[in-house]
Structure 1
């Protein structure tokens, strides 16, 4: 009887501790998990883009209160009547699969949601499941529009280029290239400088927290080209570099999806990279055509000691 009593007391204490934790300590009222067949950075960007869309279409106002590239986003979301917290945790299973866990808390009805969520299909539970399902569906549609092939270690070639130094938020890299394309190609044409290969983008600074980049929009030219001083167009040699390589197929606006896949690959294989990707665009988007046939070669150099 004493042993039985001890067992009952032990179970009661364990249950009590669990209930106190679940009802009053645990951060989320309800948790939802799913897998996405892409890199963590792509999911990270997708959550932010989905939030912006929700703000415009559903009168929901999202504010990022904490983020850690590329595995955590904590948001506050306000509507006319409610306030929620979303904590998104992203874990790379490999370079092409991400496990997504989202913890959801409704500030004004937290205790009620914790009690009812495991047992009943409340409005809170149904609405949150629909939100996450919509995000997942939108992400899956986006993934149909590009492909990334990891090629492993490789070396880029040395190339002499004319270039424009530019700055941008990460998502607007391609728009900046398009807007300035006539500046550099017009200069080269006027000065009878021949473009001898497909254009490059050389990232010179990538601020992960601000999601901004400094980059050079480059056109390969002959090494013996006479340098003509210009306020906009500059000249340089991009040296050969060793690093991790990938081929990206899709619209150039989202070529950073290959960067994210390379970063996850490097993390899983304990490879240190310098976050300065180099891209060469092998298709001309001005010619149109099927975007999945547009090919971009990408290398991210190894970190050197």
Structure 2
């Protein structure tokens, strides 16, 4: 019975790994950005759905204010409860700063500062990109590196444009503690 259960779990893990690839890299600094952001809370597994629920509002804000994008969409985790998998995060579109621009409703103007971080590249369905966070935490533990459990993801591909998910790319940064 135990052997069949282990075989079943192994089969599920192997099948799951066909949907993503994680490449751990060296330390790097994330880019600094001025952003239009919407704050959301969800579980790790539902973060992609929460992000998708805000894209249209962010795009409308950018269009209505005649803003120029200055990078790729980002997710900046502001809190992460590792026991419950609950997260709060800012989903942001980097923009060129514009004089007189103000926050509107739930859209806040924020600055994401550059921080030295452990870095990884994620390829695959973005709803699984949080698995990279766990890989980075494991790397930090193995190498005795202190990190903040507040990852930043930069999404280089737009899933709404279709394409092969394994070609979608995100850079994931886990900031080092100072």
TM-score calculated relative to the size of structure 2: 0.96
Is the Cα–Cα contact under 8 Å of residues 103 and 109 in structure 2 kept in the other structure?
Answer: no
CA offsets 1:197-235 (integer angstroms, 9 cap, x no match): 210000000011111000000001012353223111000
Any stretches of 5+ residues in structure 2 without a counterpart? Answer: none
Structure 1 position 169 matched with structure 2 position 169? no
How far apart, CA to CA, are the structure 2 residues paired with 1:218 and 1:273? 22
Aligned to 2:131: 257
How far apart, CA to CA, are the structure 1 residues paired with 2:100 and 2:121? 33
Tell me how far 1:128 sits from its aligned partner: 2.9
Among 282, 288, 296, the alignment partner of 2:156 is 282
Aligned to 1:224: 98
Is the Cα–Cα contact under 8 Å of residues 162 and 221 in structure 1 kept in the other structure?
Answer: yes
Is the Cα–Cα contact under 8 Å of residues 193 and 225 in structure 1 kept in the other structure?
Answer: no
CA offsets 1:237-270 (integer angstroms, 9 cap, x no match): 1001001011111110000111111111111111
Aligned-partner SS, 2:2 = helix
Aligned to 1:247: 121
Tell me how far 1:283 sits from its aligned partner: 0.2
Greater relative contact order, per chain length (Cα 8 Å cut-off, separation 6+):
2
Larger Rg: 1
Structure 1 segments, 4+ long, off by >4 Å, are none
Give the direction of change, closer, same or farther, for the CA distance of 1:147–1:229 in structure 2 (3 Å limit).
closer
Tell me how far 1:181 sits from its aligned partner: 1.0
How far apart, CA to CA, are the structure 2 residues paired with 1:279 and 1:226? 28
TM-score calculated relative to the size of structure 1: 0.57
Aligned to 2:170: 296
The count of aligned residue pairs is 178
- In proportion to residue count, which structure has more helix? 1
How far apart, CA to CA, are the structure 2 residues paired with 1:229 and 1:133? 53
TM-align CA RMSD: 1.1
Structure 1 position 190 matched with structure 2 position 60? no
Any stretches of 5+ residues in structure 1 without a counterpart? Answer: 1-126
Aligned to 2:77: 203
Give the direction of change, closer, same or farther, for the CA distance of 1:141–1:302 in structure 2 (3 Å limit).
same
